Amino acid sequence: MLSVQAAEAIILNLVNSRASNQVEIVALEEANGRILAQPVTGKLDIPHWDNSAMDGYAVRYQDVQNCSAEKPVTLEIVSEITAGARPQAEIQPGQAARIFTGAMLPLGTDTIVMQENTQRQGDRVLILQPPELQEFVRHQGAFYQAGTPLLAAGIKIGAAEIAVLATAQCTQLSVYRRPQVAILSTGDELVTPEQTLQPGQIVDSNQYALASFVANNGGIPIKLGIIADRPAELKQAIAQALTSADLVLSTGGVSVGDYDYVERILTELGGTLHIRSVAVKPGKPLTIATFQDNNCLYFGIPGNPVSALVSCWRFVQPALKKLAGVNYQPRFVNATTRHDLRAGGSRETYLWGKLHLADGEYEFALAVGSYSSGNLINLAQTNALAIVPVGQKLIAAGDQVKVMLLD
């Protein structure tokens, strides 16, 4: 068995040699969640022009700098400027323009007096308190200057980035193509959630869990369904998957049982097996293969739903994110465990549960209820995996433990 670290290094090397990071152009409306492939440079200053940050009056600072409530300055109101309107007149000495938030400053003015510090009298306004020079003025280009970098390549586009891009009128974006991931479940015992369960059968949750996992990590899941434990059918399904995807994710059939055919079939299809098992619990059976005829990367992971997800979190996630254009590394923190953490000692053991922040320190709590890799019920709401290293059988409650955070 390979160590976890050795397996991780092999996987990342395989991904690095295959990650073409192909690029496509998408419209702004389709960019949410995508990864920028090229830096974005805007053609507009932001703000686009000097504008008011307050409802009030646009004035010349030299006209009002010495006013007070006892000696207010009276100015003639010669125009009213609403947001979106273009000022028509230049403001002369002794004049002011009524202005609203976001409206463009008229020529001749350099300062905004907020309306709370004024008194309106017909077509005149009394300035009761002296403003600061350029107070409440948002200057053209104060936030961003046209032609300078706006957003860097490699970032994930979310709501805030969408707002920035829309403001800069960047409507066509270069993003990394999302990797296609074929998902198939193997086993005669499996049925879909829609089928009536017969004695001895098992509902296939992996197809749905892994599709969600793939979508959350930047890929496009291709669900190929359940494949029976018949070599000819399995070989045909795997061959189809290899031609339709950048990465194949199969569950089951990778152990040493009489009905575990995956490794043999991969070899028959011309695959090179790089990993067969890893000293990890859960998830020891892990098959990684590549093929000369295409760029596809094959992951064969255990059929046990808990083992399948732990394998995905630990080994598949970095590979998938790399293929999607993200430079990702798993994040580890040290935490105090609330419970005793037990392991066999021969394999690096991952125990699922919840990470909390208490008084500025991380604490880890095991998932409640029956704790075994056969119980996926308490996997819900898991946000972290505590790691018991090889050679250690117990981390006592109150001791420090290394914890892997889950996205």
Model confidence at 41: pLDDT above 70:
yes
pTM of the model: 0.83
pLDDT digits (tens, 9 = 90+) for 315-355: 999 999 999 888 888 999 999 999 999 999 999 999 999 99
Could you please report the per-residue DSSP string of 273-339?
Answer: EEEEEBSEES--EEEEEEETTS--EEEEE-SSHHHHHHHIIIIIHHHHHHHTT------EEEEEESS
Residues of the chain with CATH 3.90.105.10: 23-46+143-176
pLDDT at residue number 156: 93
Could you please report the per-residue DSSP string of 86-138?
Answer: PP-SPPPTTEEEEE-TTPBPPTT--EEEEGGGEEEETTEEEE-SPPPTTTTEE
pLDDT at residue number 256: 57
Write a three-state SS string for 186-197. Answer: ECCCEECCCCCC
Residues of the chain with CATH 3.40.980.10: 4-22+177-323
pLDDT at residue number 369: 85
Mean pLDDT of 232-240: 94
Say yes or no: domain 23-46+143-176 is CATH 3.90.25.10: no
pLDDT digits (tens, 9 = 90+) for 197-222: 999 999 999 999 999 999 999 999 99
pLDDT digits (tens, 9 = 90+) for 133-154: 999 999 999 999 999 999 999 9
pLDDT at residue number 253: 79
Torsion of the alpha carbons at 209, 210, 215 and 217, rounded to the nearest 10: 110
pLDDT at residue number 258: 55
Mean pLDDT of 110-126: 97
pLDDT at residue number 215: 95
Model confidence at 9: pLDDT above 70:
yes
**Cα distances (angstroms) measured from residue 228 to each of 19, 153, 235, 262, 319:** 31, 44, 11, 12, 28
Model confidence at 20: pLDDT above 80:
no
CATH architecture of structural domain 4-22+177-323: 3-Layer(aba) Sandwich (3.40)
Mean pLDDT of 152-178: 95
Flag the least confident range among 11-20, 24-33, 337-346. 11-20
CATH architecture of structural domain 51-138: Beta Complex (2.170)
pLDDT at residue number 257: 59
Mean pLDDT of the chain: 94
pLDDT at residue number 97: 98
pLDDT at residue number 255: 64
Mean pLDDT of 1-10: 95
Model confidence at 294: pLDDT above 90:
no
The CATH number of the structural domain formed by 332-405 is 2.40.340.10
Model confidence at 172: pLDDT above 90:
yes
Residues of the chain with CATH 2.170.190.11: 51-138
